Amino acid sequence: MSIDKQESVKKLFTAQSAKVETNKGDAYYNELYDRCRARLDELKKLKPLNNRMDFMQSIEEEGLERRDFLKWASATTAMLMLPASFTPLVAEAAVMMNRLPVIWIELQDCAGNSEALLRSDGPKIDDIILDIISLEFHETLMAPSGHQAEKQLEDAVEHFKGKYLLFVEGSIPQGIDGHFGTIGAKAETFIDHTLRLAKDAAAVVAVGSCATFGGIPAAAPNPTDAVGVMDVVKGKPIINIPACPANPSNMVGVLLHYVLTGSIPELDSLLRPKFAFGYRIHDNCERRAHFDAGEYVEEWGDEGAKNNFCLYKVGCKGPMTFNNCSIIRYNEAVNWPIGVGRGCIGCSEPDFWDKYAYERPMANANIKAPTGGVEKTVDEFGLGLLTAAGIGIAIHAAASAVAGKKSEEV
């Protein structure tokens, strides 16, 4: 590796957008603690919205103990990258989630993120989602339908003007003046619908890879000219929670952070919360030791596969994918793709469908990294670990440069 390359890798590692500071110093945390305390005290004075159930009561009814709840609170505190001393505050914030109005809309989607949300974990998080958060509008989950539902949406927007979080699931088609996607009996286009609801939102949360980067609909040749929310909505804080589906823990994390602090979490230049997207899958992968030891699955069903060796050679994109699924996992932490010997497809990165889609090894993937291209095979990998890390960061930074420009326009 030449000096130039080493320099560029170093630069990428130290770029501001790629940095995750897990310890910001006592002064910072003390100030944050006081701010959260004041925020929660203010929220406490507000009445729960829509007579939602009491959180602790519903936990008891589900037969869960306070200890289970505190265990969840401390795990969530760690996930949000806050010191352990914040655990009681996080627990308090969870109880007060019923003060936060949420509107959830589905656009050009497959409803996969809503499905994932239903399988969120925690102390019977179904309770939190369905009973505690004031989900003022969600097409699939709410009781009313048809014209009644449309009215409920209008009422919620009017009533919670400037206060609600708008969750968007699905991409936005721009082709034929947006008519590839319309909503409601008046056939309002997805673009108009999103802009109208975003206007009065406190912040917009784009959930899943479709809403963040255009997702599958935006795959070449992008028949409907689909884009993500940040390409359409301007002048509002936007939080991107990519992945296909987005991990429900990260959705709850963003909500909780908002209840707790009254602000959106720290974001990277792709507008992803750093607590969830600050590290690569590779950094915390359960098969990482095998990567370091040079033990790989060469063919599915081989001895390497039986021994849970590293999936890099069968196309795992973990080294270049920023997400916390190696820690959080899916379906109540039962498993994740790498757990079943399927390499990561990089679903939380922009353009994954065209770049990473199937299990073609990274060497043959359609990726050009600023460090001089991807090495042909692991055997020629040289400084395997460092280079792989560099590539991940490089791709991240390259994409960030584009996204950074976008967020400046806001």
Task: Please answer whether residues 162 and 85 qualify as being in contact, where contact means their C-beta atoms are separated by less than 8 angstroms.
Answer: no
Give the chain's largest Cα–Cα span: 66
Binding to other proteins by CB under 8 A, coded x per residue (else -) over 217-246, reads x-xxxxxx-x-----------------xx-
Return the residue of 55, 72, 86, 353 that touches other proteins, per CB under 8 A.
Answer: 353
Q: Is 36 annotated as a binding residue?
A: no
Residues 301-330 that bind other proteins (CB under 8 A): 301, 305-306, 314, 330
The only residue of 14, 145, 263, 377 in contact with other proteins, by rule CB under 8 A: 145
Burial status of residue 117 (CB atoms within 10 A of its CB: 0-12, 13-18, 19 or more): buried
Candidates 24, 147, 159, 368: give the one binding other proteins (CB under 8 A).
147
Under rule CB under 8 A, how many of the chain's residues touch other proteins? 70
Nearest of 346, 326, 345 to residue 336 by alpha carbon: 326
Is residue 295 at the binding interface for other proteins, with CB under 8 A as the rule?
A: no
Closer residue to other proteins, CB minimum distance, 26 or 358: 358
Q: Which two tokens stand for residue 294?
A: 């040079």
109 binds other proteins (CB under 8 A): yes
Least CB distance from residue 244 to other proteins, whole Å? 6
d(CA 321, CA 277): 9
Among 215, 265, 350, 390, binds other proteins (CB under 8 A): 215
Instruction: Write the CA distances from 302 to 249, 288, 361, 379, integer angstroms.
Output: 34, 19, 17, 19
Q: Give the residue among 402, 350, 394 at the shortest CA–CA distance from 374.
A: 394
Specify the stretch interacting with other proteins by CB under 8 A; choose among 19-27, 113-121, 229-237, 257-265: 113-121
Cα-Cα-Cα-Cα dihedral sign, residues 213, 219, 220, 223: negative
Contact in structure between 101 and 164 (CB atoms under 8 Å): yes
Q: Is 171 helix (H, G, I), strand (E, B) or coil?
A: strand
Choose, by CB under 8 A, the member of 331, 382, 385, 405 that binds other proteins. Answer: 331
Burial (CB < 10 A; 0-12, 13-18, 19+), residue 207, is buried
Query: Site for other proteins (CB under 8 A): which residue of 72, 164, 180, 258?
Result: 180
> Strands of 165-169's sheet, edge to edge?
134-138, 101-106, 165-169, 203-207, 238-241
Q: How far apart are CA 255 and CA 240, in angstroms?
A: 13
- The residues, any chain, with a CB within 8 Å of residue 263's CB and separated by 6 or more, are 257
Instruction: Give the nearest distance from C-beta 55 to other proteins in angstroms.
Output: 15
Of the pair 184, 294, the CB lying nearest other proteins is at: 184
Sign, Cα dihedral of 403, 193, 204, 217 = negative
* Sign, Cα dihedral of 64, 67, 71, 72: positive
x/- track of binding to other proteins for residues 57-86 (CB under 8 A): ------------------------------
* Given 54, 139, 192, 231, the residue binding other proteins (CB under 8 A): 139
In angstroms, give the least distance from the CB of 225 to other proteins.
10
- Residue 310 annotated as binding site: yes
Window contacting other proteins (CB under 8 A); options: 74-82, 156-164, 181-189, 253-261:
181-189
Q: Which is nearer to other proteins, 12 or 166 (CB)?
A: 166
Tell me which of 228, 318, 337, 370 binds other proteins, using CB under 8 A: 337
**What pairing do the DSSP bridges indicate for beta strands 226-227 and 172-173?**
antiparallel
Judged by CB, which is closer to other proteins: 347, or 388? Answer: 347
Give me the residues that bind other proteins (CB under 8 A), please: 106, 108-116, 118-119, 126, 130, 139-143, 145-147, 149-150, 173, 180-185, 187, 215-217, 219-224, 226, 244-245, 298-301, 305-306, 314, 330-332, 334-342, 345, 347, 353, 357-360
